[in-house]
Structure 1
Amino acid sequence: MKFSVKLIAAALCAAMLCVPALAAASATGAGAYVPNPQYTVISGTVAHQKDGGLLMSTSTGEPTEDYILWTEGVMILDAVSGEPVDAKSIKDGSTVYAWLGAQTAVTMSLPPQVTPELLLVNVPADYKVPQYDVIVRATVIMAGIPHYSGMDITLSDGTAYQVWEDAQITPYLTRNRVTYQDLLPGTRVLMWADDKGQASKVIVFPYEYKGSISLDGYGRLYVNSVVAAEPSALRRPYGDERLYVPIRAVAEAAGYDVSWDKEFGVTVKDGSDILFQICPDTKLAHGPAAADRHSLAGPCLIANGVTYLEAGDLAHLLGMFYGG
């Protein structure tokens, strides 16, 4: 059985000789990066149901729509203080805001039933509700004043904020110390800010990744906030939004080891442990990092001796965040 697998892998690797070179003209350029919103926000007034859910009548949209919101395991926070709130204390007729993630399931029942990721409650009238979102771009900024600096961040919906070091920055449900320097791509935040985008308070939620891959406004690729590749090294070979990045440059910048195996193609290791392997011209990666997906969004490509993977695929295999 092992022998036949090696034969198949060798045959797949041989196909690299037939992979066309990637067009250099397809590289991303200045201003090419457009974030993808991670959340949908719904708001309205709620009333408790006998089964434990909240019936929400939305205040936006024509016509208005009802939802059943389930609160078990949901983060419920006060819109003003950011403090946790018990679902039983939510008053009937009060206004709430619910954030639904891209993977949030909405039932086909009437009214639809959903378990949001976050609920903000106790919202005063005419109050500017803080924004819950994922940071997709973060750049340290210096004001030219000693001991005064901050972070320029962009959220997944494209909203930009400045978080200076004197802003109130606290972690969610822990006493760990966090600063503006912890506002890295992939970080979920709840942001209170003025109309000019100056943040006064930020709640930082636990980081779920091993690092981040991001682009700046000029198309440069960053790995953990350090430039890893210039725009000329990146490719969009299919004429769509899929960005292909060099495997070795990204993986090594993230601290992994990259080599070539004549039977199984590109091999990425974490120390002595194989993270994943993939052959050019295939959409199947092998190894522990690929255990939860059967194929990738696009094939592994090779040009001028450099192997490429779609940025989201490589980020997933490396356990990193990519928001674009």
Structure 2
Amino acid sequence: MKFSVKLIAAVLCAAMLCVPTLAAGSSDAPGAGTYVPDPQYTMAWGTATWQDNGSLLVRKSGENKPTDGMALWTKNAIVLDAISGEPVDAKSIKDGSTVYAWLGAQTAMTMSLPPQVTPELLLVNIPADFKVPQYDVIVRANYIMKGIPGYSGMAITLSDGTACQVWQDAAVTPYLTRNRVTYQDLLPGTRVLVWADDEGQASRVIVFPYEYKGGLSLNGNGFLCVNGYLTVYPPALRRPYNDERLYAPIRAVAEAAGYSVSWDNEFGVTVKDGSDILFQICPDTKLAHGPAAADRHSLAGPCLIADGVTYLEAGDLAHLLGMFYGG
């Protein structure tokens, strides 16, 4: 498939995929704006040397002091071959070889020098001048010409702002399972290892286990997408406090995610998963009730109501629906 054909497909995708809830607005509508990267991982790389205590000391060129570098513990890390993506026994890593490690935002690191840490992912067996694949979390995902044979794909944005296109002919495989996955499984919140060229065209993607029921994301034009589909137009979104908090209509998002929404005179908005109540919340309150709110005492902002439409801060709404929101 030629890149020029794919580029044309990408340009046309918005016209074919829009599922509006309100009329389109201007580019300065509440949902619009350039995505500001919020990297979820720190990458460390360098030459590896085994230490007497069993850790793997990684140093970049020029780091020669005893306190330089980073000591990696490999016992609970995912260790993969950089070319094949296959699992590798950490003990096979040779002194003097180059490794790349990804540390999660919540990864605990000792205060010692050099610091000691267990990476989430470690890539090994890296040839010289090889473009190392990238490990990250998808924060935005939009279909490209979904359903058109030979021209379908997913445009994804990673947490550090890297944009990639994963077409249906790319090799998309799961990590350590035989489950079938495709480009359509690349939803916000998905951890991936992506082999892409300098133009962002992915040839291969490894998909790691998904921890959410779906994902919410803003595309580059300010549309709120639910599981990759354009669902809420910018004018239907709100930023009532003139800050970064984005408020989304509860009904539009929840119904697009497969839930039912109704109104209860006593408990306010009621969102159900089948016959089971997921959560309930009244306007002008910051306290949701129900199983989905069991681990959260209050929300980032109150439930708002305007013209008969109830809103919640997008991150809060995603959490209550069991979905990922990358901002």
Q: TM-score range by the shorter chain?
A: 0.7 to 0.9
Which residue pairs with 1:70 in the alignment? 73
Gaps of 5+ in 1: 1-24
The code of the aligned residue for 1:217 comes to G
Q: Map residues 110-149 of structure 1 onto 2, 5 A cutoff.
A: 110-142=113-145, 147-149=150-152
CA distance in 2, matches of 1:297, 1:52: 44
Residue type at the aligned position of 1:226: Y
Residues 36 and 250 of structure 1: CA distance in aligned 2, closer, same or farther (over 3 Å): same
Distance 1:47 1:140, change over 3 A: same
Determine the C-alpha separation between the residues in 1 that align with 2:147 and 2:279.
Answer: 45
What residue is the counterpart of 1:280 in the other structure? Answer: 283
The structure-2 alpha-carbon separation of the partners of 1:262 and 1:50, relative to structure 1 and needing over 3 Å to count, comes to: farther
Q: Normalising by the residue count of structure 2, what TM-score does the alignment of the two structures yield? A: 0.83
Give the alignment of 1:205-244 within 5 angstroms.
205-244=208-247
The 8 Å contact of residues 137 and 155 in structure 1, kept in 2 or not, is answered as yes
How far residue 138 of structure 1 moved from its aligned partner, in angstroms, is 2.4
**CA distance in 1: counterparts of 2:68 and 2:322, whole angstroms:** 38
Q: Partners of 2:191 and 2:39 in 1: how far apart? A: 13
Seen in structure 2, the aligned counterparts of structure 1 residues 143 and 54 have a Cα distance that, compared at 3 Å, is same
One-letter amino acid of the counterpart of residue 224, structure 2: L
Task: Give aligned-pair identity as a percent.
Answer: 79
* 1:30, distance to aligned residue in structure 2 (A): 3.9
**2:39 aligns with one of 33, 37, 46:** 37
Letter in 2 for 1:255: G
RCO greater where, 1 or 2, for CA within 8 Å and sep 6 or more? Answer: 1
* 2:143–2:228 CA contact under 8 A, matched in 1: no
Work out whether residues 47 and 60 of structure 2, in 8 Å CA contact, stay in contact via their aligned partners in 1. yes
Q: Over residues 45-92 of structure 1, what are the superposed CA-to-partner deviations in whole Å (9 max), with x where a residue is unaligned? A: 22223433222224599x994222222221111111111011111112
Q: Is the 8 Å Cα contact of residues 35 and 136 (structure 1) preserved in structure 2?
A: no
Give the structure-1-normalised TM-score: 0.83
Number of residues of Structure 1 aligned to a counterpart in Structure 2: 300
Task: Say whether the 8 Å CA contact 1:35–1:323 is kept in structure 2.
Answer: no
1:26 to 1:282, Cα distance in 2 relative to 1, 3 A = farther
Structure 2 runs not aligned, ≥5 long: 1-26
In the other structure, the counterpart of 1:22 is none
Shift in Å, 1:136: 2.1
Structure 1 counterpart of 2:128, which letter?
A
Q: For 1:1-324, list aligned pairs within 5 A.
A: 27-58=29-60, 65-142=68-145, 147-324=150-327
How many Å apart are 1:144 and its aligned residue? 12
Q: Do the aligned partners of residues 26 and 294 (structure 1) sit closer, same or farther apart at CA in structure 2, a change above 3 Å counting?
A: farther
Counterpart position of 2:5? none
Whole-Å Cα distance in 2 between the matches of residues 245 and 123 of structure 1?
44
Q: CA RMSD in A?
A: 2.7
The one-letter code sitting in structure 2 at the alignment partner of 1:183 is L
